[in-house]
Structure 1
Amino acid sequence: MNPMQAILNQMVNSPQVQNNPMAKNAMQMYQNGDSNGLKSMAENLCKERGITVDEAKQKVMSMFNH
């Protein structure tokens, strides 16, 4: 098993994911290669929070650029 697969397995089986229906659904979509489903979920989450997808991307990228 490659390192990326090991990390994904740990994430999928973690209690945080298993106890969160949205996270569990997102991981299943990722594993199934459903990029359209993930995109739609992300767009809906942004809409619910009153931000644009670009604003969300900027926030995520700023977390990695410290």
Structure 2
Amino acid sequence: MRLIADYATISVRMISSMLTADSNSEWKSLYEAAVCETDRRKLAERVATARSAILNHIEKSIRNPAVGEHCAMD
């Protein structure tokens, strides 16, 4: 049980660091477009696109963490 809690803590720290450190990523503009979307017909597609981009970025960061992300894991 402790291992799961430690993993969750590491994941939250790493993801938080990753999301704040990488301000010029494609995922961020897609996320902002989804958050600001006012047309209900487009909202689901924008959210799905942003979600996919964020998950792709997280997967890349797990495989090759940046320096700031490495520090967050310590």
Structure whose alpha-carbon radius of gyration is higher: 2
Higher RCO (C-alpha 8 Å, min separation 6): 2
Query: Shorter-chain TM-score category?
Result: 0.3 to 0.5
